[in-house]
Chains A and B, each alone.
Chain A
Amino acid sequence: MQMPWTRCKRWHKKVTIIMPTEPASTASQAVRGVFATETTTSVGFGATKRRVKQTVYVYAEEAEDGMMACRSLSSEFIPQGNKRMVSREELLKSFVPAPHIYLSKVLPAMAALEQAVDSAERCRKEGHLFSAEFEFKHSLRLDENHIRASFGLGLTYLDRGDPDNAHIVFRKLSRLEGLSNPDYKHLFNEFGIKLRRNGMYPQALGHYGKALRLSPDDEHLLYNLARALFEKGRLRAALRFLDKALTISPNFPEALEFRRRITDMLTMTIIDDTELSSGSASPKGTSPEKP
């Protein structure tokens, strides 16, 4: 649990004096909050020309290496756009903490966004796929890089049998930052299952691969990966992953059954090959094409 403003408030009061010298990774709490700066611009011409003061807010989160990841805030006070990494000193040179904005605007907006994504997920699970799409898209209009909403939208398209739109989401997801959180393992797995069921095997394999990077010893992921490989016709690769799943969980019944099935198929293939090469090979010695 992070306490976002305990340190920033102190900086706000003595911003030119107190500057932490150690990276934040050694501290117990990472800084997270809104920082503000005022800019003055001229608008209008001639007699109507006037100077306007404008407050610009950025949302900053302290990374493990002590750098601050800064994002701009949308008009709805949701962090948006690409992260820009700056040092704490750089940030505080131009910006001052704005805890009131963080507490009164950003936190409620982010909480509302999470609730909207929760609601969209409920719609999807209850089979209200058009409502789910509407809600996920609404959330993504507020934060285009929202990981859970992106997964949700992709899953909704797959549930609806719309692989073209799912593919657009899939490609975006494959480039999103911040997917290293193990919490997303289940999303990758679910996406992989749906992709496989829609016949999108390369994409399914990619998602299982990412899930496995987050959790390399998950026997269910290994089993699912084996299924996708099997349906791509890569029986030996499927067998290798099943063996790995069974090393982790020797009594995994589905994996045992699946392994037996693949082994039988491989044995049959070997027998077929033997018969073809010794018995009915073509005059030129090449095996006939098999269906």
Chain B
Amino acid sequence: MSFQFLGHYLLGRGVVTQAQIDEAAAYQAEANRRLGDLAVEGGLLTQTQVDEILERQRETDLNFGTLAVSLGFVRRRDLDALLFRQQVHLVHLGEALLTLGHLTVRQFCDYLNDYAALERARKDALTRLFEGHCAREALRSLVDTLERAFLRFAHCPLKAQAYLDDLAMEALPLHHTMEIPLNSASSMRFTLHIGRDMLDAIGTACRRDGESGGTPEEALAEVLDILDIISIYLCSSIKPHELPTPDCSSGIPDPSGKGELHEGCLRLQLACPVACVGLTVALVTNRDNPKESA
């Protein structure tokens, strides 16, 4: 896979092996703690309070700490100390590889700098993709929220990568469409294009958390539930934003010049290390009834 994740990048350059990446990922999983776990361990929150915050997160785009403070569970100063502790103890993949002796200090410096430059280029390319679009704020907000939603509910670190061309879209046969009202006259209709690998990835994450059912049907139902949660979360998160009325007719051109030009539409490919998702967005000026399909 050619997506820009540090592991792929290092593998592509032959610096590390897949076994070393797996070992480093296991090291990270052991070392990195979630804020709720840290708070319970420090006696700042009870498990019941953590569960309540997580439940509320399904309906709002607020992060865990902000919700904990707004619900009066922790003081702001305690949260600050906790966030700092989490940050200081957070082990990135590069650091894990360095600690395990799979990268030298020199390699760590050089490859991470090179990778950071590629990441900057990716972000610049995305900025260009959004540029000039009348609803770029709404689109950017949608993409950011989608990345957070997949991380929160599917434990999948999704990252916007590039324009979704026709070939990539064909490989993602499952569709899940929702509509977010922007204002009284317009709405944003978005469709998630999902392939079998993403369903498997979400299913694996569910099994790891002990949430998924035993049979394949139960597992699939669980995955579809998560996609529903993500969609509802997106709708409730985007709605409160003050967004401009979209009035463009030009749409976003395919930067590679290969794909079709869709009027008023954004096509984007997002990926996590093991799977990808397509996102197509259409701005609808006379809102129809919201459609939902899976």
Is B294 at the interface (CB under 8 A from chain A)?
Answer: no
Shortest Cβ distance from residue A83 to the other chain B in the assembled complex, whole angstroms: 14
Residue in contact with A144 in the complex, picked from B84, B94, B105, B112, CB distance below 8 Å: B84
- Interchain CB contact under 8 A, A172 and B108: no
Is B109 at the interface (CB under 8 A from chain A)?
Answer: yes
Shortest Cβ distance from residue B64 to the other chain A in the assembled complex, whole angstroms: 14
For B67-93 the 0/1 string (1 means CB < 8 A from A) is 000000000010011011101111000
Interface residues in B84-140 (C-beta closer than 8 Å to A): 84-85, 87-90, 94-95, 98, 105, 108-109, 112-113, 116
The residues of B that contact A10 with a CB separation of less than 8 Å are: none
Look across to chain A and name the residue whose beta carbon is closest to the beta carbon of B111.
A130
Residue contacts A-B, CB under 8 angstroms, 29 given: A129-B113, A130-B94, A130-B108, A130-B109, A130-B113, A131-B105, A131-B108, A131-B109, A134-B95, A134-B108, A137-B87, A137-B88, A137-B89, A137-B90, A137-B95, A141-B88, A144-B84, A144-B88, A153-B88, A160-B116, A165-B87, A168-B83, A168-B84, A169-B87, A171-B80, A171-B83, A171-B84, A172-B83, A175-B80
Main secondary structure of the interface of B (DSSP, over half): helix
A131 CA to B95 CA, complexed, in Å: 9
Look across to chain A and name the residue whose beta carbon is closest to the beta carbon of B83.
A168
Interface size grouping (class) on chain A: 10 to 19
Taking beta carbons and an 8 Å cutoff, which residues of B are in contact with A?
Answer: 77, 80-81, 83-85, 87-90, 94-95, 98, 105, 108-109, 112-113, 116
A130 CA to B105 CA, complexed, in Å: 10
Shortest Cβ distance from residue A121 to the other chain B in the assembled complex, whole angstroms: 16
Shortest Cβ distance from residue A104 to the other chain B in the assembled complex, whole angstroms: 27
Shortest Cβ distance from residue B59 to the other chain A in the assembled complex, whole angstroms: 23
A273 CA to B177 CA, complexed, in Å: 54
Is A128 at the interface (CB under 8 A from chain B)?
Answer: yes
Known: A130-B113, A141-B89. 19 other contacts (CB 8 A): A128-B109, A131-B105, A131-B108, A134-B95, A137-B90, A140-B88, A144-B84, A153-B88, A168-B83, A168-B84, A168-B87, A169-B87, A171-B80, A171-B83, A171-B84, A172-B80, A172-B81, A172-B84, A175-B81
A160 CA to B113 CA, complexed, in Å: 10
The residues of B that contact A134 with a CB separation of less than 8 Å are: 95, 98, 108
Shortest Cβ distance from residue B71 to the other chain A in the assembled complex, whole angstroms: 19
A172 CA to B95 CA, complexed, in Å: 23
For A139-171 the 0/1 string (1 means CB < 8 A from B) is 011001000000001000000100001001101
A160 CA to B84 CA, complexed, in Å: 18
Shortest Cβ distance from residue B184 to the other chain A in the assembled complex, whole angstroms: 26
What are the 10 closest A-B residue pairs judged by CB atoms, nearest first?
A172-B84, A130-B112, A171-B80, A140-B88, A168-B83, A168-B87, A128-B109, A137-B88, A131-B109, A175-B77
